[in-house]
Amino acid sequence: MRQILGKRAELEMILGSNYSGVLSSDDYSVYNGYNVKAQQKCLAHLRRHFKKLMKLPGLNNLKIGETFVKLIDEAFKPARELPARTKFSRFLKLGF
Tell me the C-alpha to C-alpha distance, in Å, between residue 61 and each of 2, 74, 87.
33, 20, 34
Q: Which pLDDT value is given to residue 71?
A: 94
> Given this model, what pLDDT does residue 1 score?
45
| Residue of 10 and 79 predicted with greater confidence | 10
Q: What 3-state DSSP class applies to 21?
A: strand
- Which residue did the predictor score with more confidence, 80 or 73? 73
Domain ranges in the chain? 2-41, 43-92
| Beta bridge partners of residue 19, listed in sequence order | 36
> 1-38, pLDDT tens digit by residue?
456 568 888 888 898 888 888 888 887 888 888 888 88
When comparing pLDDT for 81 and 2, which is higher?
81
Mean pLDDT value of segment 70-78: 88
Kindly report the backbone phi and psi dihedral angles of residue 41, in degrees, each rounded to the nearest multiple of 5, phi listed first. Answer: -100, 155
